[in-house]
Amino acid sequence: MKHIAILLAFLMTLSSPVVATDKEWVSYQEGDFTSSSQQNTLIYHNASDSVQGRSLFDRDDVSSDYQIHAIYLLASDSKDKRMDINGKIESIITKGNKHLKRIINKEFKYDLTIERKIDVSFLRVNKTIEEIQSLENYALNYFGNQLIKNGFYHPKKIYTIFYQENYFSKELNRNLEGVQGLIKFETPKGSLEIPFITNYLSAAPSDLWFVNFHEIIHGLGFIQECSPNHKEHHVNLIDAMSGYDSGQKLIDINSQDYYGHSNADCPLDLKKSVFLYPTEKSPQLIPYDNDCNFDRNVRNYDGSVALNCLKKLNFVSSASAFKNGVLEAQMLLTLLGYEPGPMDGVLGSKTKSAFKSFVSKNEVKWDGQFNNTALNYLRDASRD
């Protein structure tokens, strides 16, 4: 029983889904940042959200390929309709992919579980529905902050959020169905813009499948400003990517603008996207310029530019890793009968004193630094 109580106390110190201010950027140095490698330390904000089949983090991948990851997002006071585990979000995604398969014989590559189901992560934020509604820019800055701060920034993934509620746009005088956003992310290796999708699930229930795949196409870089029929990131034609679709939701039927086209001075082509299957022999990544800003006007595609930008996402937050190492040490010291003080991830005087007592009693060689070597001493002792 003592071990169970200690473990529960340890778990209570782990990260909860976080709230950020409504700003256009996020930094790995912020105190409430959880790195992608530490996502499994997240805990549920509401105990009632912890239900079988649900995950706060991106589950282990069954493929190392580029893929789209879905997130079910609730406000702090949203009723949990369990759309991530009851098949609702999966049905939206599946219907969109079936449509793509029918009209272009390709599908979006979605992140799957080992059971070959759509991997949908769960995220409840700490702002209420009313507070989110009061945010400008369709709450995109806020959602983007939540995305990154909870560890969703894999270099081979683009994220599509399914927000359960409405968002009324005063500018458009209607409820939004979906929108593509950008969030600037400062990493130890430099900053870059991260595209993501937000679907507002209460806006247009019958068309959610279309809203999601339409916005994903935006998130992949379309419609490019250099496209012949470009108009405000859409095409000025009857098309799935226009503002007045015919109802058939066709994809660049004449291959003029963004799919299977031959515009040499506007080379980004959805047909070649790494996020579509089957993938073409010369696939294209999300477009970035040399400053790692999302590029809406690519005149000369160079995949190495995007690769160099995405490499900035391959990092381990040293502060996060160190805190979790201290937390583990505090738990192990307690299990071994020492008194390291509160399990808070802080290497304070009580934790140092407890570890020195452990070193003295076990006669281990210690250089005075708290590092992996010191932690391994505790791990080995706990197994004896």
CA distances from 223 to 17, 143, 220, 295, 335 (A): 33, 23, 9, 11, 58
Q: What is the mean pLDDT of residues 50-63?
A: 93
3 state SS of 168:
strand
Averaged pLDDT for residues 30-43: 84
What is the C-alpha to C-alpha distance for residues 195 and 223, in angstroms, rounded to an integer?
Answer: 14
Residues 326-368: pLDDT tens digits?
A: 888 888 899 899 999 888 777 888 988 998 898 888 888 877 7
Span 146-164, average pLDDT? 97
pLDDT confidence of residue 318: 60
Render pLDDT for 163-218 as a digit per residue (tens, 0 to 9).
999 999 998 899 999 999 999 999 999 999 999 999 999 887 778 999 999 999 99
Asked if 89 contacts 118 with a C-beta cutoff of 8 angstroms, the reply is yes
pLDDT at 133: 96
SS3 at position 179 = strand
Whether the upstream peptide bond of residue 267 has omega within 30° of 0, thus cis, is no
- What's the whole-number average pLDDT of the chain? 89
CA distance 253 to 229: 13
Tokens 């939701």 found at: 249
Q: What is the mean pLDDT of residues 42-58?
A: 91
Q: Does residue 300 register a pLDDT over 90?
A: yes
pTM of the model: 0.79
pLDDT of amino acid 194: 98
pLDDT at 322: 66
Domain boundaries, the chain: 16-222+268-313, 318-383
Does residue 257 or residue 172 have the better pLDDT?
A: 257
